[in-house]
């Protein structure tokens, strides 16, 4: 039974008239990597700053390894943070940067042990050869590793990474994501990784918390989120490409998607309580949408809008009615803008969201994941 | 793997052992700011409040034992209905306009020139800044001798180009310009400094954009560099206006307010009332009037500035 | 619209050579992407074309006319910078008008040109707003509009999408391609993001340390990389590389010769003739197959599972094979266990020499 390292309940934080965080609940168990996924301005940084103690929350509690640290000053909480930009001390060498936290009077680490821990952290991050350099002589990727080493050398209970990779080259980012996973595997360090990039988060995290506009929309393993997205925004933020969200209306006890040739009876979706005339949004994961180039029974016509070569496959965007769908398909060289394509949507794979607030309308008569459709 | 420092941080905080390094942040701030607050209270707030009180009395510092009579708004009314006082304000206004115009035209032009890197630029820049470092009263005497109608160097120079000698300090219209020139000489470097900083602050991408867009250096300067420098230049303008308004030393040295009281600025007038005639009450009221004018001016500028910075 | 010729362009900063003998011809209307890691010289090359950077040697010609000595203003180019350098004190309309007013174009003509360019970029409704308040997508469009309003010979883009948020980037890429095709302007785009390059380019020019590593259509760089660097830089996730040893029995994994690799005999003979006793095998993760039923043999090996992450609908699994690592991209329901069998289809394997050059 893994013990909880972090338990945040009801976190609220406002700045002046605006609120940045609204009732955030997060818990992280020992050894896990929690991904905090959300667009810029969603509140990821504010959340991390509250957890680390740099901001005082307006309400809520933060418990670290069982003790309440909500009002404890940051230097005393056993948390390490790596910020975007890394915040290395420019006047010190790499060795001194890594050693810095241990020199704080709070810890009073004897010099011999300090040396040993710094060298070990440097080995872990493979920067032992850089220890004597000054921080302006090393590359972006190396700086990130120094920042991580500096945070790790204290062996904190919890490690927070705030979008540490977004300023880096794509290839470097990939390499460092691998290293983070590697490092986590070897040391069992508990991590919260905040990012706006879905692929980056999914590559590193074991569980994902989706946050938008200060609210936590859903937390769970990626497979759970795929099976049961809680909100339309979750569909927009998760997946690459993200969920296809289609405008639809309830008419004559059936659900018709704008531009799609078939309508489905509400009973098939187990949403009989929806009234006629209601507007809803229907979401499909692109992988659940079938797309072909020639007419076929059960397929509805669409127009090809754009193609995007991705090397081993391509992404296409098709339009029908007021709706757009982006999907990844294998490479074809015969595609032209404006040509007809045909899509088939499976009501068993449909997720219905209320419009305009985006809440998921779960099938009636059954609680739990899945959309409960008998196909 | 157990950590050797698992316990200390939390323990130190909980044991209540107050070491200097673990004092709550807020206490430390309070401690550091206390002396400043004390000094401000004694030397700014208290005198200021007293000033307001004096302005409603007909009190004189020279006769502290005489019971001051409360005249309410009397001092203010007397000042604001006095034609001579208004003349002082008009003169001050003209002076401010003259000196600030010279400072900004020359200052911005010089800063424009300093944008390009040329041999000896840094040296020239340092030399250009030197006038700021002179003591105002010294500057006053310096220019007084230079503006002397008989043997002053200014008259000699203009005679070289065939212009007749000018009575600089004897006539108030000329004296206005003479003092304005002296003041501008001292403070144009300030404008150069700020304008240079503003110009340097323009992102390189924008300057390159303008190049690529085909703009000539002059077009770029008037359409891009200057407009984008407006916030800093506005601040400089506000500072120079306030300083010019307060100008005293130069007039003391160069004209002593004469002939008669023609070249007395408002500040000069105030000093005469306060420390010449010792009408402390009246002087206090005058000071408050000046303060209101300056605050009013500043508020206009600050509002304009905030509007500007929302855009840039 | 013009053809651009770069001949032997070299730029040196003191001892550092940022661009080293860059030669290429850009055809009219072509969309070229200069791709490479930081410091490879792509931005320096772009700035040379713009005239913002003087080259140490080499010639640049637009439509055959040398422009190397001309200032940026004289070259008739349009440029969009990384951090969208719009004039913040002006409205969108005034920004777009700026290059025309700078050249003294008469007012009615300016108005007409702005209207036509606003139609292309669909920004008619925001023309009179101050650019500071516009969302990043709109700012990019205004920036592009300003760059093309003069109908320049060449359009230069310096990582214009890197300041844009991830969620808008894909959308803007597609739109950028559309605009470029519609306007037909020869375009040079600089980026370090190979996804962007794949998506936008007619031709990709991959650079490293100031030199061109490979240049060609995106599909060519993906399917036929010129060397190991190109193979690892293009494609996400990155290509797997395994060290192989050439022994008497043939080709096998260096740390475990029992794991054999099939290769045509002429290839192996060629390796030996070149004096190689080690080659690197490259294969992309999505082409590695799970083959639990297949018999172990050449290119079919037992592997220990190290880690598996669900990313999107695919499982990115990491295996240990003979002490080396192979990453595979498998469907989410793939039957992987602590030991599995992997197959590396020979037709998808690349061979590189220890120096990185392509040998097979």
Which pair of structure tokens corresponds to residue C11? 């730029």
Ranges of chain A whose pLDDT falls below 50: 367-368, 371-375
pLDDT attached to residue B13: 39
User: C195-204 in b/e burial notation, b at 16+ Cβ within 10 A?
Assistant: bbbbbbbbbb
Residue C214 belongs to a domain: yes
Residue C8 belongs to a domain: yes
Contacts of A331 in chain C (CB under 8 A): 219
Residue C297 belongs to a domain: yes
Which pair of structure tokens corresponds to residue C51? 């005239």
Same domain, C199 and C348: no
3-state percent helix, strand, coil for chain B, nearest multiple of 5 = 70, 0, 25
Residue of A nearest to B8 (CA): A107
From A296, C87, C70, C349, select the one nearest B229 (Cα to Cα): C87
Q: How far is C65 from chain A (nearest CA, A)?
A: 35
Same domain, C144 and C280: no
Residue C278 touches chain A, beta carbons under 8 Å: no
pLDDT attached to residue A182: 79
pLDDT attached to residue C167: 66
pLDDT attached to residue C354: 85
Same domain, C267 and C170: no
Ranges of chain C whose pLDDT falls below 70: 1, 163, 166-167, 249
Same domain, C205 and C292: no
Residue C358 belongs to a domain: no
Contacts of C218 in chain A (CB under 8 A): 309, 311
Domain boundary among C233, C263, C285: C233
Contacts of C173 in chain A (CB under 8 A): 308
Residue of A nearest to B21 (CA): A105
Q: Does the beta-carbon distance from C194 to A309 stay under 8 Å?
A: no
In chain A the beta strands, taken as DSSP E runs, fall at: 4-15, 18-29, 33-37, 59-64, 67-68, 79-82, 158-162, 191-195, 207-212, 215-220, 244-251, 254-257, 263-265, 279-284, 290-292, 300-309, 314-320, 323-329, 340-344, 351-354
Same domain, C156 and C300: no
CA distance B15 to B20: 14
In this structure, how many other beta carbons lie within 10 angstroms of the beta carbon of residue A293? 14
Paired residues of A354 in beta bridges: A280
DSSP B241-254: HHHHHT--HHHHHH
Residue C218 touches chain A, beta carbons under 8 Å: yes
Paired residues of C358 in beta bridges: C352
Same domain, C53 and C173: yes
Q: How far is A308 from chain C (nearest CA, A)?
A: 5
Question: Which residue in the set A140, A197, A315 is minimally distant from C166, CB to CB?
Answer: A197
- Give me the domains of chain A, ranges plus CATH numbers: 4-227 (3.40.50.300), 244-354 (2.40.50.140)
Q: What is the pLDDT of residues B185-218, one digit of tens each?
A: 999 999 999 999 999 989 888 999 998 898 888 9
The CATH number of B81-311 is 1.10.3720.10
Same domain, C190 and C276: no
Contacts of C232 in chain A (CB under 8 A): 171
Residue C66 belongs to a domain: yes
Which pair of structure tokens corresponds to residue C38? 């930081």
Beta carbons of C120 and C176 less than 8 angstroms apart: no
Which chains border A (3 or more CB–CB pairs < 8 Å)? B, C
* Residue extents of the structural domains in chain B: 19-54, 81-311
Could you list the residue range(s) of the whole structural domain that residue C148 is in? Answer: 4-233
**Strands of the sheet with A351-354, listed across from one edge:** A263-265, A254-257, A244-251, A279-284, A351-354
Q: How far is C294 from chain B (nearest CA, A)?
A: 44
Same domain, C148 and C277: no
Chain C contacts to B (CB-CB under 8 A) = 50-52, 71-73, 77-79, 81-83, 85-89, 98-99, 101-103, 130, 132, 146, 150
Same domain, C229 and C301: no
Chain B contacts to C (CB-CB under 8 A) = 203, 205-206, 208-216, 219, 223-224, 227-228, 230, 310-312
pLDDT attached to residue C48: 93
Q: Does the beta-carbon distance from C165 to A39 stay under 8 Å?
A: yes
The domain total for chain C is 2
Residue C360 belongs to a domain: no
Residue C290 belongs to a domain: yes
Same domain, C37 and C137: yes
Residue of C nearest to B205 (CA): C85
Residue A240 touches chain C, beta carbons under 8 Å: yes
Question: Which residue in the set C102, C130, C132 is minimally distant from B214, CB to CB?
Answer: C102
Residue A28 CB burial class (10 angstroms; 0-12, 13-18, ≥19): buried
CATH code of C25's domain: 3.40.50.300
pLDDT attached to residue B12: 37
Question: Which residue in the set A185, A203, A221 is minimally distant from C311, CB to CB?
Answer: A203
Q: What is the mean pLDDT of chain C?
A: 88
Same domain, C95 and C217: yes
Q: How far is C34 from chain A (nearest CA, A)?
A: 14
Residue C37 touches chain A, beta carbons under 8 Å: yes
Same domain, C228 and C260: no
Contacts of B209 in chain C (CB under 8 A): 79, 81, 85-87
Q: Which residues 6+ apart lie within 8 Å of C131 measured at CB? A: C86, C87, C88, C90, C91, C92, C95, C139, C142
Question: Greatest CA span in chain A, whole angstroms?
Answer: 79
CA distance B308 to B4: 56
CA distance A36 to A22: 15
Ranges of chain B whose pLDDT falls below 50: 1-18
Q: What is the ipTM of this complex?
A: 0.80
Rounded to the nearest 10°, the torsion over CA B130, B133, B139, B142 is: -50
Domain boundary among C180, C208, C233: C233
From C233, C220, C217, select the one nearest C284 (Cα to Cα): C233
Contacts of B205 in chain C (CB under 8 A): 81-83, 85
Residue C25 belongs to a domain: yes
Could you report how far apart the first and last alpha carbons of chain A are, in Å? 38
Question: Which residue in the set C193, C198, C286 is minimally distant from A309, CB to CB?
Answer: C198
Domain boundary among C199, C217, C233: C233
Q: Does the beta-carbon distance from A309 to C170 stay under 8 Å?
A: no
Q: Does the beta-carbon distance from B212 to C88 stay under 8 Å?
A: no
């Amino acid at each position: 039974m893994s013990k909880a390292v972090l338990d945040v309940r009801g976190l609220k934080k406002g700045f002046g008239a605006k609120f940045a965080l609204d009732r955030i609940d997060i818990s992280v168990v020992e050894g896990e990597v929690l991904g905090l996924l959300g667009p810029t301005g969603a509140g990821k940084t504010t959340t991390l700053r509250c957890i680390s103690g740099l901001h005082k929350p307006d309400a809520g509690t933060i418990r670290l390894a069982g003790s309440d640290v909500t009002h404890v000053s940051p230097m005393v909480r056993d948390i390490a943070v790596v910020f975007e930009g890394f915040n290395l001390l420019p006047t010190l060498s790499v060795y001194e940067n890594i050693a810095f936290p241990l020199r704080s009077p709070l810890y009073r680490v004897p010099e011999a042990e300090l040396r040993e821990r710094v060298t070990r952290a440097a080995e872990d991050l493979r920067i032992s050869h850089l220890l004597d350099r000054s921080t302006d002589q090393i590359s972006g990727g190396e700086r990130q590793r120094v920042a991580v080493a500096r945070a790790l050398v204290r062996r904190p209970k919890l490690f927070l990474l705030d979008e540490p990779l977004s300023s880096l080259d794509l290839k470097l980012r990939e390499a460092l994501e691998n290293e983070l996973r590697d490092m986590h595997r070897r040391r069992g360090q508990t991590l919260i990784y905040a990012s706006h990039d879905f692929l980056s988060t999914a590559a590193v995290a074991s569980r994902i918390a989706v946050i938008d506009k200060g609210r936590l929309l859903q937390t769970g393993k990626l497979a759970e989120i795929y099976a049961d997205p809680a909100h339309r925004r979750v569909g927009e933020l998760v997946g690459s490409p993200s969920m296809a969200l289609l405008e639809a209306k309830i008419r004559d006890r059936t659900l018709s998607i704008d531009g799609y040739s078939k309508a489905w009876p509400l009973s098939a979706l187990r949403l009989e309580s929806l009234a006629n005339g209601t507007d809803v949004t229907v979401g499909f994961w692109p992988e659940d949408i079938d797309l072909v180039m020639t007419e076929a029974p059960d397929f509805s016509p669409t127009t090809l809008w754009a193609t995007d070569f991705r090397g081993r496959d391509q992404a296409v965007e098709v339009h029908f009615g007021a709706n757009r769908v982006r999907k990844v398909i294998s490479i074809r060289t015969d595609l032209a803008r404006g040509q007809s394509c045909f899509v088939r949507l499976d009501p068993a794979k449909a997720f219905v969201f209320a419009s305009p607030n985006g809440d998921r309308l779960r099938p009636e008569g059954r609680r739990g994941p899945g959309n409960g459709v008998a196909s | 793997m157990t950590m050797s420092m698992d316990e200390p941080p939390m323990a130190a905080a909980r044991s209540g052992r107050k070491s200097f390094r673990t004092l709550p942040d807020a206490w430390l701030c309070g401690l550091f700011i206390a002396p400043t607050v004390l000094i401000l209270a004694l030397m700014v707030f208290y005198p200021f409040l007293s000033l307001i009180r004096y302005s409603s009395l007909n009190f004189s510092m020279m006769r502290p034992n005489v019971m001051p009579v409360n005249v309410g708004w009397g001092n203010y009314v007397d000042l604001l209905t006095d034609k001579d006082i208004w003349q002082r304000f008009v003169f001050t206004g003209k002076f401010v306009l003259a000196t600030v115009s010279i400072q900004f035209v020359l200052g911005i032009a010089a800063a424009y020139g300093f944008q390009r890197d040329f041999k000896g630029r840094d040296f020239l820049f340092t030399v250009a800044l030197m006038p700021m470092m002179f003591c105002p009263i010294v500057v006053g005497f310096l220019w007084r001798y230079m503006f002397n109608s008989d043997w002053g160097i200014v008259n000699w120079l203009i005679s070289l180009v065939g212009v007749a000698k000018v009575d600089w300090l004897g006539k108030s219209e000329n004296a206005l310009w003479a003092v304005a020139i002296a003041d501008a000489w001292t403070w144009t470097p300030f404008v150069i400094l700020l304008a240079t900083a503003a110009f340097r602050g323009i992102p390189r991408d924008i300057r390159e954009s303008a190049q690529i867009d085909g703009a000539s250096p002059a077009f770029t300067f008037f359409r891009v560099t200057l407009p984008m420098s407006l916030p800093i230049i506005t601040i400089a303008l506000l500072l120079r206006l306030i300083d010019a308004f307060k100008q005293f030393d130069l007039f003391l040295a160069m004209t002593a307010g004469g002939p008669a009281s023609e070249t007395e600025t408002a500040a000069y007038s105030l000093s005469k009332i306060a420390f010449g005639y010792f009408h402390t009450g009246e002087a206090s009221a005058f000071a408050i009037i000046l303060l209101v004018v300056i605050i009013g001016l500043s508020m206009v500028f600050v509002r304009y500035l905030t509007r500007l910075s929302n855009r840039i | 619209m013009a053809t651009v010729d770069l001949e032997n362009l070299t730029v040196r900063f003191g001892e550092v050579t940022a661009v080293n003998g860059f030669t290429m011809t850009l055809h009219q209307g072509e969309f070229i992407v200069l791709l490479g890691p930081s410091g490879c010289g792509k931005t320096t090359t772009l700035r040379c074309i713009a005239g913002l950077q003087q080259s140490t040697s080499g010639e640049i010609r637009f439509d055959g006319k040398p422009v190397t000595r001309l200032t940026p203003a004289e070259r008739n180019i349009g440029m969009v910078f990384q951090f969208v350098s719009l004039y913040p004190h002006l409205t969108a309309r005034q920004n777009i008008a700026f290059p025309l007013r700078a050249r003294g174009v008469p007012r009615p003509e300016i108005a007409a040109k702005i209207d036509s360019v606003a139609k292309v970029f669909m920004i008619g409704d925001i023309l009179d707003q101050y650019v500071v308040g516009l969302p990043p997508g709109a700012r990019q469009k205004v920036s592009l509009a300003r760059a093309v309003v003069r109908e320049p010979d060449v359009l230069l883009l310096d990582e214009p999408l890197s300041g844009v948020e991830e969620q808008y980037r894909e959308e803007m890429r597609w739109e950028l391609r559309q605009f470029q095709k519609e306007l037909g302007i020869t375009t040079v785009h600089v980026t370090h993001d190979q996804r962007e390059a794949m998506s936008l380019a007619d031709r990709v020019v991959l650079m490293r340390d100031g030199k061109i590593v490979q240049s060609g259509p995106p599909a060519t760089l993906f399917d036929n990389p010129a060397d190991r660097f190109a193979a690892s830089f293009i494609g996400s996730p990155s290509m797997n590389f395994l060290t192989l040893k050439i022994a008497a029995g043939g080709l096998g994994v260096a740390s475990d010769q029992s794991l054999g690799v099939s290769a045509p005999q002429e290839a192996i003979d060629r390796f030996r003739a070149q004096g190689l006793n080690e080659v690197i095998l490259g294969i992309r993760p999505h082409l590695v197959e799970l083959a639990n039923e297949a018999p172990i043999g050449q290119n079919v090996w037992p592997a220990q599972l190290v880690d598996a992450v669900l990313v999107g609908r695919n499982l990115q699994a990491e295996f240990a094979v003979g002490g080396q690592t192979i990453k595979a991209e498998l469907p989410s329901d793939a039957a992987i266990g602590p030991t599995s069998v992997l197959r590396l289809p020979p037709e998808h394997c690349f061979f590189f020499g220890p120096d990185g050059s392509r040998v097979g």
